[in-house]
A and B are shown apart, each in its own frame.
Chain A
């Protein structure tokens, strides 16, 4: 489907390039239909990763996380993660209101953590996001969206998981899905992410090789919104002085469940 503005626009570009519509690309191919030898090597390394390799990646991640103020905390299991999160929730004060509220993703890993019990003891209400009915009528749709909006703005902590984490730059990779809204990792003052050890990958090259060629990742692709998050929000716009918490979360914690 093309539009008149597009036709005219592209005609001018073609005239400038002195070319006809061209999808067959000479020289290095414009698009690839199979992984390159380098990508095959990366995918192979990904498949063969041993427990020792994974721990090495965790160490690399922790080192990269330090200078960007991302707190990476390895925990043996989900119960330990839940306890740690509850302790954190008790210690931290809400930024925008006097009351404490926590919002969490509906996600298999987060569900298994059973945060509700320890937070109940602290009398901190927990809001879990739910996928909306895709066939909801506009009114219902609006009500549910507003419900999420008020829950997320009222929360000082947002708990999510992530698809992957790149050790090289300490970057979380989150793809959009119903029930896992992106604002949970953005609007609350503190973002907590929980992942398992096998979700740590080496770098962006590995991420893109997986997204391009590995069937488990390829089916969903990048989704309509994929976010890289490397530590808390920051700015240096006033006299080049680093300040954390410009617009996004001021603090980010990453719990890595190592299964040991």
Chain B
């Protein structure tokens, strides 16, 4: 599989649209989870409005992020854990490798975590001669295939059972079967060996709670419990924003997270971890490390326009309703995060110009905002990014995406501000449009630079008379005695 990055958006999106397996999988996924999540919100005792309360909780947490992280770190240290604050992806990765080397670690079992995908932990571990093993079934499948996750919760959604059967035969040497339960059993068996022989386990953090000093991990498979219970060392990686102050606030967020992620009232496993095993306990890791990651987040925090995206708890509910994600799939977004959240976070983390197609590609339909468990105004954030692209921004080192576009809009605003010239223009355009090929009454093809508009749809021609002309004529008729 070739390298994907935010720059390849258009190319990979086209491939996704042309891939019937992906189209079928995405339609099924959205049909199930999109609707299921909406229904799960409706069934909340507090109703879907609870999402707005969650928004307030997240807003408060982010406003006090410094204090909350300080308290969390102090409590985890008091429980015998080690806390490391990593400014960059590189620092986080290097920390992990250093701990691994100090402890003579050869194999790392990983619980599913998008933040480790963001920092590129797997390739870095491999380069250091350490074997990373993804243990979430979906992640295991795509690791075997040498691909990247295409959905935050369902990373292998782009593969069907036949792809997976072929892959397992080739990579693990099992007898071919396309039965999902037999394939799962094969992975269960192979990964049990890995869990029991690994020296280190890693996980992400769904939500941490400052009041109690715990991080929590959420899973249905139990792989995260295995990865954080059996090996000698557990390292958890946490985006710095994933914290709330109190347990009663955490309660609201966990309920919304389970509903947003998989339309469940509760995930099968939720673990609250505050440190390594204590004296007298015969299992659990000897060492617990928490790596808290900035990697560009403090820059987002400093911008009042974009701060809201830090409220996100990465449940993937927005992917499950997005009409754009539902067609192009996750790989087009070219980074750990896809869908509407990816279209906002990826430009902010990797460069707005670099990832401009991601935010330009979304439709602003607002479905993501209705699905978001913490009611983030994603359309507003997408528009704010487009504004930066239109006018440029020094703080974010954004160059205007297209000078021509800016000029065209300037000319347009002059035109519609001057009635007399505007009407002359419409007259001319009304005559000029007769030159374009038609399909029925619609214009089939426009010349460059407007050709893009008619690439996949027809263009409504200008009416014979403008609304104002029509109005005048109508009045003239009705005034006739």
Contact = CB atoms under 8 A, between A and B. Distances in A.
- Are A and B interaction partners? yes
Interface of A: 1-3, 5-6, 8-10, 12-17, 19, 21-23, 25, 27-28, 30-32, 36, 39, 64, 68, 96, 129-135, 144-145, 147-149, 152-153, 168-171, 176-179, 181-183, 186-187, 204-205, 208-209, 211-212, 221-241, 243, 245-249
A231 B221 CA distance: 11
Classify chain B: how many residues form its interface, as a range.
35 or more
B28 A240 contact: yes
A132 B280 contact: yes
A119 B191 CA distance: 31
B67 A230 contact: no
Contacts of B185: 245
A9 B85 contact: yes
Nearest to A70: B268
A64 to B, nearest CB: 8
The residue among B28, B160, B246 with the most chain A CB atoms within 10 A of its own CB is: B246
B306 to A, nearest CB: 11
Contact of B226 (A27, A224, A248): A248
A15 B226 contact: no
A235 B221 contact: yes
Interface in B197-235: 210-212, 214, 220-223, 225-226, 229-230
A72 to B, nearest CB: 15
B272 A39 contact: no
Contacts of A153: 196
B137 A235 contact: yes
19 contacts: A3-B84, A9-B69, A12-B87, A132-B282, A171-B266, A183-B283, A186-B226, A186-B229, A204-B251, A208-B250, A226-B271, A228-B269, A229-B268, A230-B268, A233-B221, A237-B184, A238-B156, A238-B164, A239-B180
Interface of B: 25, 28-29, 32, 56, 60, 63-70, 73-74, 77, 79-80, 83-87, 91, 135-138, 141, 154-157, 160-161, 164, 180-181, 183-185, 187-188, 191-192, 195-196, 210-212, 214, 220-223, 225-226, 229-230, 240, 245-248, 250-251, 254-255, 265-284, 292, 294, 298-299, 301-302
Nearest to A144: B282
A230 B254 CA distance: 14
A223 B271 CA distance: 11
Contacts of A226: 214, 271-272
B313 to A, nearest CB: 16
B136 A237 contact: yes
The residue among B83, B164, B255, B272 with the most chain A CB atoms within 10 A of its own CB is: B272
The residue among B67, B68, B154, B214 with the most chain A CB atoms within 10 A of its own CB is: B67
Contacts of A231: 268
B226 to A, nearest CB: 5
Contact of B86 (A5, A15, A223, A225): A5
Given A237-B156, A243-B181, A224 B220 contact: no
A5 B66 contact: no
Contacts of B275: 224
A169 B222 contact: no
A225 B245 CA distance: 19
Contacts of B164: 238
A21 B67 contact: yes
A240 B247 CA distance: 32
Contacts of B251: 204-205, 208
B64 A22 contact: yes
Contacts of A169: 265-266
Nearest to B139: A237
Contact of B184 (A23, A208, A227, A235): A235
A221 B167 CA distance: 46
B318 to A, nearest CB: 18
Pick the 4 closest A-B CB pairs, nearest first: A248-B222, A178-B280, A134-B279, A246-B221
Contacts of B141: 237-238
A23 to B, nearest CB: 5
Contacts of B85: 3, 5-6, 8-10
Nearest to A146: B282
Nearest to A166: B266
Contacts of B196: 149, 153
B184 A228 contact: no
Contacts of B212: 221-222
B266 A237 contact: no
B87 A8 contact: yes
Given A39-B248, A226-B272, A246-B223, A182 B180 contact: no
A36 B91 CA distance: 42
Nearest to B272: A226
A22 B220 CA distance: 38
Given A204-B255, A229-B269, A238-B184, A134 B280 contact: yes
B267 A230 contact: yes
A9 B292 contact: yes
B160 A1 contact: no
A134 B136 CA distance: 34
B281 A17 contact: no
B92 to A, nearest CB: 11
Given A6-B73, A16-B301, A211 B247 contact: yes
A220 to B, nearest CB: 12
A227 B228 CA distance: 12
B96 to A, nearest CB: 14
Contacts of B64: 22, 25, 30
A32 B223 contact: no
The residue among B29, B230, B273, B280 with the most chain A CB atoms within 10 A of its own CB is: B280
Contacts of B283: 145, 148-149, 152, 181-183
Contact of B66 (A17, A133, A209, A223): A17
A223 to B, nearest CB: 8
Contact of A182 (B161, B183, B229, B248): B229
Given A6-B83, A145-B283, A238-B156, A227 B60 contact: no
